[in-house]
Structure 1
Amino acid sequence: MTRIPTALEALRRIADGSMTCEALARACLERIVEREPAVQAWQHLEPDAALDTARRIDRAGTGPLKGLPIGVKDIIDTADMPTSYGSPIYAGHRPARDAACVALARHAGALILGKTVTTEFAYFQPGKTHNPHEYGRTPGGSSSGSAAAVADGMVLLALGTQTAGSVIRPASYCGCVGYKPTHGLIDRTGVRPFADSLDTVGVFARTVEDAALFASVLAGRPGLRIENRSVRPRIGLSRTHEWDAAEPATAAVLEEAVKRLRASGLEIREVVLPECWRGLFEAQKTIMAYEGARACAPEMLTSPDRLSAKLREILQIGAAIAPDDYDGAKSLAAEARAGMADALDGLDVLLTPSAPGEAPQGMEATGDPVFNRVWTLLGGPCVNVPGLTGPSGMPIGVQVVGRIGDDQRTLAAAAAIARVLSVR
């Protein structure tokens, strides 16, 4: 089988004529034929149509993503493919137009290879996807198919979303890069909402440089691309207020990461987060449930029997939350955001856990977003950096967190950290 290149490598080879877009698409499809029966990352594929599009791009395509095959999470609208939002209610649903991020990717020359599996409405009811490293384990969620497809070499890039931990956690479990930008950096038009204050479009890739390229195109921010490889970030180690949830494997991985980074000469110091942030974890849960109950009201009111028990439960909880409690959670989040720059004083980024440990055994759940909720609520950029493993040989990532709006610095720091952690 042809080795699947990284996105930047593929672009170089397409530009110099040593690889065609069709050959790249065919290599991805061959990998899918080989691995999809076990991994089940895809909700919808049209191989012949994909190859036709690749040939058309070869003939006349242009753009910064020319010919790159990408996967699209199935809560993101596509005009030429069904979008079912992970729910039987929308089986076969055909949106009238592409989501903004899909339209921009196409305009930049990308090839939409197919739709990747999502949990139901991007909540916690698992889809069919298995972890590509061990099929009896969850890939995480809700961007399960996107993370698994990229990690397994089926596709070079993929779109996902995060409302609690749906980019960072599956990236950690599957062993790929996951980047959740600053809230709103990538437009959400055409993405099925769950909690508007939290929902964030993110990306998956095999390298931080690839993720930065993809996001730079979608956000219209060329400055996100990583050009300077000599960056030496100042790093704060944050065990967070949720540290009790860290399994020994995550504690060991974080310590190993710190050891390697210090050995490389990078500055790292311990950071204690403000005491007033202890309430942010519950605030995120309150906001997510309250807004989710309203976003899913049409389905809850008309087709409750076609929703999973997990989803019905959170929607019922959200519907019962008092407006004053919701407003209080929003106020607490706003105060914490205003103080985030002080929490990172003298630092470029924080280094924190991505997930409690290795991907859990079983397919009944998608794992716990305990180390993601607060950062999603604060709205700043987060990057899962892979490269380390736990006692079972499964991937465990570390999470790089930056200031709100400081995505360029955060990505550059994550790339520097990844270069250290990828050295064996």
Structure 2
Amino acid sequence: MLSLLSLRARIEAGSLTPSQAVALTRAAIAEHEPSVRALVTSDPDPVVPEMGPLAGIAVGIKDIIDTAHLPTQMGSSIYTGWQPRADAPIVARLKALGAVPIAKTTTTAFAFIDPTETCNPRAPGRTPGGSSSGSAAAVAAGMLPLALGTQTGGSVIRPAAYCGVVGVKPSFRLLPTVGVKCFSWTLDTLGLFAATAADAAHALALIAGRPEIERPVGAPRIGLLLPEFCDAAEPEALGALDHARVAAEAAGASIRAFSLPDLFKEAFDQHATIQDFESAQALAWEYTTHHETLPPFLRAHLDMAQSIDAAAYDAARRIAHHARRSLRDILRNADIDVILTLSAPGFAPQGYASTGDSRFNRLWTMMGVPCVTVPVPGEDAPLGVQVIAGFGHDARALSAATFLEQTLAERSRDYG
């Protein structure tokens, strides 16, 4: 995989120019894109700034995020060829840092669950996940050092786990969602995909203008959570979580069991009410004027969502608000830095009929807390574990993720 920090180190050392770095990316795209199909469109003649902290870094932009130089087509024929007049603020910020938004990456239609044609480069024959399918696959294939995704349920964390890359869902509102096609304004969150946790921390610190996010790595205090608010994981995922626990503990992390009260089962159950009520409004024009053009899963979802009333929505929001406040207090008093839990139920499902199950992601999206998927080394299809910190503690989540990533790599070398 292409590492953002490695490319930048070579540029700063003078052994690589930003233009040459982007040329490496373009060569990787030419080699892998025909089989991976992670990109919708790409810039045939990108402008490459020679200055800036992200100069030379080519970025994939999920195709629900506006770009003034490339069409934004939402994964839907309704928007074929649609060209925004302006960049979304997140894209403008990347350009200001010297990065090159070189391509639009595939997305399920309107970031729901109807699959794309993108293949999983790390697990042939298995889904790359969704909805940020192309961003996860492009980074996994070594085509891009950085890509943007979004998460409303599990659309960053899950595909990152399925494709064996690092995915970051930052704290809610840390990155602007203006210029991003809305599905649920309460839940939609911009996220990043990168080769390593250190790459992701560096990128997020720069993009958010918060250098404190990229802080020194130390052995964290970890609360190990086996969720009781949803169906259990498959044995392989539980094995990966235990492998991560053993590695972290051996490297000096303190680990203890962690659980959540029944309130969080109630909050987990309300995610769908909030998402569905808001999506019916966010996609009202498409539903009314292009109903038969919508893909089948999304069309059925919006048909059902019409029946959710405001009273149910308001009740769900009150429960979510209560849970967010309770989680803040629980984490403040729990004597832990981060939660370590599952990223996905197991291996990416075989075939391309489904993008997988987001049940280990939805609660944390609703809570608005930072989450990071860390790949767990293995010989089979990729698996990941999820590191979670309290709201606003993105530095803590990424520091712990980097510690875990390094620890797993060292253990893999020792026992490889």
**TM-score normalised over the length of structure 1:** 0.94
CA deviation after TM superposition for structure 1 residue 5, in Å: 4.4
Pair 1:336-2:333 in alignment? no
1: distance between equivalents of 2:303 and 2:330? 35
- Which blocks of at least 5 consecutive residues in structure 2 are unaligned? none
1: distance between equivalents of 2:377 and 2:266? 31
Aligned to 2:373: 384
Whether the 8 Å contact between 2:2 and 2:195 is mirrored in structure 1 is no
Pair 1:39-2:36 in alignment? yes
SS at match of 1:216: helix
Aligned to 1:372: 361
Aligned to 1:239: 226
The counterpart of 2:281, out of the listed 289, 294, 308, is 294
Summarize deviations over 1:280-308 as a string: whole Å, max 9, x none: 22211111111001000000011101101
CA deviation after TM superposition for structure 1 residue 373, in Å: 0.4
Summarize deviations over 1:26-82 as a string: whole Å, max 9, x none: 2212212221111110000133x12xx23xx2xxx3221111111100000000000
SS at match of 1:411: helix
The counterpart of 2:385, out of the listed 377, 398, 406, is 398
1: distance between equivalents of 2:303 and 2:33? 36
1: distance between equivalents of 2:89 and 2:385? 30
Aligned to 2:261: 274
CA deviation after TM superposition for structure 1 residue 222, in Å: 1.5
Q: Identity rate of aligned residues, in percent?
A: 45
CA deviation after TM superposition for structure 1 residue 243, in Å: 5.6
CA deviation after TM superposition for structure 1 residue 411, in Å: 1.1
Summarize deviations over 1:284-343 as a string: whole Å, max 9, x none: 111111100100000001110110111111112222112111111111110011111333
Aligned to 1:161: 150
Whether the 8 Å contact between 1:348 and 1:402 is mirrored in structure 2 is yes
Aligned to 1:18: 15
Whether the 8 Å contact between 1:146 and 1:160 is mirrored in structure 2 is yes
SS at match of 1:140: coil
The counterpart of 1:357, out of the listed 346, 359, 362, is 346
Pair 1:8-2:8 in alignment? no
- Which blocks of at least 5 consecutive residues in structure 1 are unaligned? none
- What is the root-mean-square deviation of aligned Cα atoms in Å? 1.2
Whether the 8 Å contact between 2:219 and 2:251 is mirrored in structure 1 is no
SS at match of 2:137: helix
Whether the 8 Å contact between 1:274 and 1:343 is mirrored in structure 2 is no
CA deviation after TM superposition for structure 1 residue 173, in Å: 0.2
CA deviation after TM superposition for structure 1 residue 242, in Å: 4.0
**Change in 2 beyond 3 A, CA 1:306/1:195:** same
Letter aligned with residue 234 of structure 1: R
2: distance between equivalents of 1:411 and 1:204? 13
Aligned to 1:418: 405
Q: For 1:24-423, what aligned pairs fall within 5 Å after superposition?
A: 24-47=21-44, 49-50=45-46, 53-54=47-48, 57=49, 61-226=50-215, 228-229=216-217, 231-242=218-229, 244-344=231-331, 345-389=334-378, 393-423=380-410
2: distance between equivalents of 1:168 and 1:403? 17
**TM-score normalised over the length of structure 2:** 0.96
Letter aligned with residue 11 of structure 1: R
Letter aligned with residue 153 of structure 1: G
Whether the 8 Å contact between 2:229 and 2:264 is mirrored in structure 1 is no
Letter aligned with residue 169 of structure 1: R
2: distance between equivalents of 1:422 and 1:287? 39
SS at match of 1:182: coil
2: distance between equivalents of 1:242 and 1:364? 26
Whether the 8 Å contact between 2:2 and 2:139 is mirrored in structure 1 is no
Summarize deviations over 1:171-222 as a string: whole Å, max 9, x none: 0000000000001100111111000000000001011111112112221212
2: distance between equivalents of 1:361 and 1:314? 23
The runs of 4+ residues in structure 1 deviating greater than 4 Å are none
**Change in 2 beyond 3 A, CA 1:300/1:5:** closer
2: distance between equivalents of 1:402 and 1:241? 19
Letter aligned with residue 42 of structure 2: L
SS at match of 1:351: strand
